[in-house]
Amino acid sequence: SGPQAAAMPVDKKLAIISPAHLQEQARKVMTPGAYAFITGATGDEWTLQENRRAFNDFPIRTHRLQGMAAKDVDLSIELLGHKLAYPIMVAPMGVHLFAHPQGEVATVAGAAAAGALYQSSGASYQPLEAIAKAGTGPKWFQLYFNADVGVTRSLLERAKAAGYTAIIITADALGPGASDAFKLLGMPFPPGLTFGNHDPLQGGTGNFRHQKVALTPDDIGFVKSVSGLPVIVKGLMRGVDADAAIRAGASAIQVSNHGGRQIDGVPGAISVLPEVVKAVKGRVPVIFDSGIRRGIDVLRALSLGAQAVAVGRPVLYGLALGGPSGVQSVMEQLRDELQLAMLLAGAGSVRQLDGSFVKA
Ligand code: FNR
């Protein structure tokens, strides 16, 4: 104990009982501002609620007498050239400083320890190079386009040089997305917050706020040709948009409504997954995020045709409560829950999960 011990950033494994308990424990260690920023969504938070409720529209159909034990369940996948131990990754989220003094450097270390792919936000507190160095596992870089095309180019070149293996274009981050609760508190960003990728000392230009939001399919080709990396388009909620993105060169689609943080009133993300999967017609992998909290949620998304899922807020709750080891605990808990869910549903591998495991 003593003042020095208290200042040490937390790093401990968590016993996770339930998503609600994890969130409640995290609330107790966060400032009200941090909690409002991370937990909240836009408007009345109807979409935030739908992201959870809509999973119930797809009850699970178990398959019995499959002669399986837990050890027979194979969670591994191949995705854009990576062999992953299980199909659950960390979604890109800005400003991890809200949850932990070391920010993303702590999160990425926890993801790597858990064997989970890390999607790194362009709005990180730490610069992308420091994040890449701290995380030995597979990593993708999520790009926020800059109004200055030279800044965008430089971000792509830096991401490639740092070892990121794909670029995520977030197509739905057109507005500020702050929750009413965060606004009511006066939008209290953490003291000392900078956006690491734009720090002039790190080769950035300091002008993160000049985001280019008016994106078209042509931007996909631009990112692909500048980076030479596969491009994932995140934030699509319509089949026609997925089709347009693929025709423009996208290597994967990430179905997402940004965890309800952009426009309220859109359906729960899982509700539109079947439409997008149908439009994609197996041309590229589909990744799903927004509302994943339990192993059975992952099972349902995979059964509806996603190849992998990403998880947002629970990772930051784990980060706040346990630092790198807390993040690791969150990811391993989801992995273990998925394994159990598959055993209980009667699916021996993720390739076996198909529409017969859910009832629309
Ligand atoms: C996000 N999200 C996000 N997405 C993105 O592409 N770039 C970003 O910088 C951020 N920032 C961000 C911050 C915070 C605090 C949260 C909670 C979310 C959206 C994120 O990638 C993902 O789509 C959702 O979080 C998924 O929903 P769940 O799992 O949080 O329900």
Residue nearest to atom 10 of ligand 1 (CA): 93
Residue 234 lies in domain? 12-48+82-336
ipTM associated with this complex: 0.99
Look at residue 64 and tell me if it is in a domain: no
Residue type, 6: A
pLDDT in tens, 116-165: 999 999 999 999 999 999 999 999 999 999 988 998 999 999 999 999 99
For residue 119, give the CATH number of its domain: 3.20.20.70
Per-residue model confidence (pLDDT) at position 147: 87
- For strand 167-170 and strand 231-236, is the pairing parallel, antiparallel, or unpaired? parallel
Locate 220 and state its tokens.
């996909």
Mutate-to-test residue for ligand 1 from 258, 331, 334, highest number of ligand atoms within 8 A of CB: 258
Distance 260 CA to ligand 1 centre (A): 9
Element (H, E) at 287: strand 286-289
- Reported in sequence order, the residue ranges of the chain that DSSP labels E, i.e. its strands, are 77-79, 82-84, 88-90, 118-120, 139-143, 167-170, 231-236, 252-255, 286-289, 308-311
Look at residue 356 and tell me if it is in a domain: no
Look at residue 219 and tell me if it is in a domain: yes
Q: At what angle do helices 313-345 and 295-303 cross, to 10 degrees?
A: 70
Domains contained in the chain, number: 1
Look at residue 3 and tell me if it is in a domain: no
Per-residue model confidence (pLDDT) at position 7: 65
Look at residue 37 and tell me if it is in a domain: yes
Look at residue 40 and tell me if it is in a domain: yes
Q: How far apart are CA 237 and CA 175, in angstroms?
A: 17
231 forms beta bridges with 167
Per-residue model confidence (pLDDT) at position 3: 45
Distance 79 CA to ligand 1 centre (A): 21
Which residue, among 295, 287, 279, has the nearest Cα to 330 in the 3D structure? 295
Per-residue model confidence (pLDDT) at position 203: 52
Atom of ligand 1 nearest to the CA of 311: 29
Per-residue model confidence (pLDDT) at position 198: 80
Look at residue 208 and tell me if it is in a domain: yes
Distance 65 CA to ligand 1 centre (A): 40
Per-residue model confidence (pLDDT) at position 206: 53
Look at residue 186 and tell me if it is in a domain: yes
User: Residues in the chain with pLDDT < 50?
Assistant: 1-5
Q: How far apart are CA 327 and CA 319, in angstroms?
A: 5
Told to judge if 96 belongs to the known catalytic residues of this protein, a careful annotator would answer no
How many residues are there in the chain? 360
